[in-house]
Structure 1
Amino acid sequence: MDLVWKIAFSQIKGLKIEQARQLIARLGSEEAFFTASENALKALCCMRNDVFEASSRCKLLENARREAEFIIRKGVVPIYFTDGDYPWRLAECADAPLMLYAVGQRGISWNKVISIVGTRNATAYGAGFVKKLVQELASMVDGLVVVSGLAYGIDIIAHRAALEAGVPTVAVLAHGLNTIYPSAHRSTAVEIAKGGGMLVSEYMSDAVVHKGNFLTRNRIVAGLCDCTLVAESAEKGGALVTAHLANCYNREVFALPGRVSDKYSVGCNRLISSNEAVLVNSAEDILQCMNWSERQAGCSQPQLPLAVMTPEQENVAEYLSAMPDGASLNQICASLGMPVHAVSAIMFDMECNGVVTALPGSRYALL
């Protein structure tokens, strides 16, 4: 029940971390907020708020119970702002979320963290620079973590470069963990979770994909990191929003310069000319500016521990064990008498846990 109280408390609209700490200090616990009378809350907090109404708090608890069931069923890791492994850099940000929902490696070493963002219309110039930069940083510093947003363009290039270099990468999603958007990046999302990285979101599982969420989540991309690199950006775009937020959080911002005639270098050039970003040509520029020490030889990256399978996953695994060439999603549904949406969710979880692998034609096989 403790998890339900925390989920519900974290969903109080407009509640910031510092306000949450003060409220808990006055009440004694999250549970007390939901069990106290409306008049008691108004008197204790010396204010009026619609959320104090019993109906509002009941609705928060109802939603939280459903989310707790989803978390337990899917093996999602809830990270509350009072937990010891809540990212400490993010906790310094006034508008950080009270709760994060994660899939993957919870115990990431938030040692040297860089967010890499940019246009969804990445050019060969920007893509090549990001790949080379990540590879160089991975070979030069210990404890590197690459953060981005799993979007098309620079985001997915940064994630894949980190995976190729063998360093953890964190994808900050703009929706709940019951889906992956864009769906074309599902396989990369699975690799991230399996490869010592993390998929993380502030949104509950029933949150739909909404345009406004993408800008809102940028504060997490910026807040998790020591520094942010804008690889390419047009005159306007989400990457520039992330850069602005990083500056507001007193984090270092870097930008890749480009020709004045290049559409997707206009934003970066402007950041540099307005002294909102440091011009970067190589990994050495970042190491020098951030005062990061050279990576020690022989360091290995953390790996995601194996997860315990649910009864439904065990049934799927048992069925696939008799299918050496794999089976289609429809075959699995028909054989086990389960709906497509349920089996799709199960297969995604099993991919993340390294139990099955996806084959062409929506087929799956045991690893």
Structure 2
Amino acid sequence: MLIDDIALTMHPEIGSKTAIHLLEHFGTAEALFAAGEEEIVERTQLKASIARSLCRREFHERAAEETAFVERHRIRAVCSTSEEYPRRLKECPDYPHVLYVSGGIDLNAAHWLSVVGTRRITPYGSRLCERLVGEIAERCPDTVVVSGLAYGVDIAAHRAAMNAGLKTVGVVAHPLTRIYPSRHTESARRMVHEGGAVVSEFHSGCRCDKKSFVRRNRIIAGLSEGTLIVESAAKGGSLITADMADGYHRTVMALPGRVGDPCSEGTNALIKSLKAQMVCSGQDIADTLGWTVSAPPKTGSGTDDAAAASLTPAQHNILRLIGTDAPVSLEELGLRGGLSLQELAGVLLELEFSGAVRSLPGNLYIR
């Protein structure tokens, strides 16, 4: 009975591991609450005061209110004894007994990839995140991308997944009564609308703090077969997620960054210490996880040739000066391209409209 499951998670002296311990002995929350105080203590060695509290059903009234709340807001409350519960997460020793899910995604779909990193994502990280997710989508179009809906790498991963036609799941550190940060609310709605979900272990009455984000991170790590760290400083929440994933015997991957870049110190250290596999492409990710992939798209297709043929000589001249790794400034393009700034601005605008280049803050351009 769902009310029993929710009531169990509401007890302030019963955490995830204790709930798992109790369920291992009684099978279901319903059977636990049907037992007497002495039986609970004898079978589980639980403190008598906590067993007495369970027998009094002190949190069932609030649990009934929560059940009505989730039904009213079309939220699924999925308990760990349900077939809907994500099997990968249940393999972890501290899985939450109840997950609240906004969205209709199959929590046991085949391929799940967690993507996390710094909140201060660089243009390099943003570009590579979008490219790697796009390449995974081409090779494994049923992949579900998981992240934490936070600033930086998290939201970049969610948006890259949606742009590539993948379903994406945001795991949040607060109840589903709101979205934090609020400016990501529209992205969260789009995620749900396009077949993904927003997930939390926190019921609507929870008051969350900094520790809630660490608890959230274990769900991000536990839902997927592998976790990719895109960018990270020497210390950060994404490194905690990496440690959790490693502790769950999941594959940890990291994108290498430039030497000396503060936003890549953490990822480079993971690779250097052999705590993470270095990946540079979607194919690397698929190979590392042992995924069977579709044939990668052919390069140099007739469509690409036609697009290249449609460029003017001036556009060709400027495009060859712009690479895919390091941005080039407007001033440098003007000096090397032999065009006035007015002529150059027109050419760059045309290249942007065609999708050949992208402008970055500071009058920088990249392919």
TM-score, with normalisation over the residues of structure 2? 0.76
Pairing of 1:28-47 with structure 2 (within 5 A): 29-47=28-46
Counterpart-to-counterpart distance in 2, 1:39 and 1:87: 33
Report deviation, 1:55: 7.2
Counterpart-to-counterpart distance in 2, 1:158 and 1:251: 19
Counterpart-to-counterpart distance in 2, 1:261 and 1:73: 51
Share of identical aligned residues, percent? 41
Change (3 A) 1:136 1:125: same
1:64 aligns with 2:44: no
Report deviation, 1:200: 0.5
Report what 2:293 is aligned to. 294
Change (3 A) 1:56 1:169: same
Counterpart-to-counterpart distance in 2, 1:190 and 1:45: 42
Counterpart-to-counterpart distance in 2, 1:81 and 1:55: 19
Report what 1:230 is aligned to. 229
Pairing of 1:198-217 with structure 2 (within 5 A): 198-217=197-216
CA displacement 1:214-271 (0-9 Å, x = unmatched): 1111000000011111000001100000001111111111111112211110000110
- The one-letter code of the counterpart of 1:107 is D
Change (3 A) 1:294 1:11: same
Change (3 A) 1:182 1:15: closer
Report what 2:24 is aligned to. 22
Alpha carbons 1:175, 1:203 under 8 Å: kept: yes
Report what 1:172 is aligned to. 171
Counterpart-to-counterpart distance in 2, 1:24 and 1:3: 15
Alpha carbons 1:108, 1:197 under 8 Å: kept: no
Counterpart-to-counterpart distance in 2, 1:56 and 1:108: 32
1:249 aligns with 2:233: no
Report what 1:183 is aligned to. 182
Change (3 A) 1:209 1:18: closer
- The one-letter code of the counterpart of 1:182 is P
Aligned residues: 293
Report deviation, 1:106: 3.6
Alpha carbons 2:77, 2:99 under 8 Å: kept: yes
Change (3 A) 1:296 1:281: closer
Alpha carbons 2:116, 2:154 under 8 Å: kept: yes
Counterpart-to-counterpart distance in 2, 1:14 and 1:257: 37
Alpha carbons 2:231, 2:267 under 8 Å: kept: yes
Change (3 A) 1:78 1:237: same
Report what 1:158 is aligned to. 157
Report deviation, 1:141: 1.2
Counterpart-to-counterpart distance in 1, 2:259 and 2:49: 52
- The one-letter code of the counterpart of 2:137 is A
Counterpart-to-counterpart distance in 1, 2:263 and 2:25: 46
Change (3 A) 1:35 1:54: farther
Pairing of 1:1-367 with structure 2 (within 5 A): 2-12=1-11, 13-16=14-17, 18-25=20-27, 29-54=28-53, 57-108=56-107, 110-295=109-294
Report deviation, 1:63: 2.4
- The one-letter code of the counterpart of 2:15 is G
Higher Rg of the two aligned structures: 2
Counterpart-to-counterpart distance in 2, 1:228 and 1:131: 16
Report deviation, 1:122: 0.3
Alpha carbons 1:50, 1:56 under 8 Å: kept: no
Report deviation, 1:66: 1.8
Change (3 A) 1:32 1:281: closer
Counterpart-to-counterpart distance in 2, 1:139 and 1:170: 19
- The one-letter code of the counterpart of 1:22 is E
Report deviation, 1:210: 1.6
Alpha carbons 1:141, 1:296 under 8 Å: kept: no
Counterpart-to-counterpart distance in 2, 1:165 and 1:143: 11
Change (3 A) 1:206 1:257: same
Alpha carbons 1:78, 1:99 under 8 Å: kept: yes
- The one-letter code of the counterpart of 1:19 is H
Counterpart-to-counterpart distance in 2, 1:151 and 1:157: 9
Change (3 A) 1:104 1:276: same
- The one-letter code of the counterpart of 2:272 is S
Report deviation, 1:23: 2.5
Report deviation, 1:43: 3.4
Report deviation, 1:140: 1.0
Report the secondary structure of 2:57's partner residue: helix
Counterpart-to-counterpart distance in 2, 1:287 and 1:103: 28
Alpha carbons 1:178, 1:206 under 8 Å: kept: no
Counterpart-to-counterpart distance in 2, 1:57 and 1:232: 49
- Could you say what the CA RMSD is over the residues aligned between the two structures, in angstroms? 1.9
Change (3 A) 1:54 1:254: closer
Counterpart-to-counterpart distance in 1, 2:140 and 2:105: 21
Counterpart-to-counterpart distance in 1, 2:40 and 2:208: 34
Report the secondary structure of 2:15's partner residue: coil
Counterpart-to-counterpart distance in 1, 2:151 and 2:207: 19
Alpha carbons 1:51, 1:57 under 8 Å: kept: no
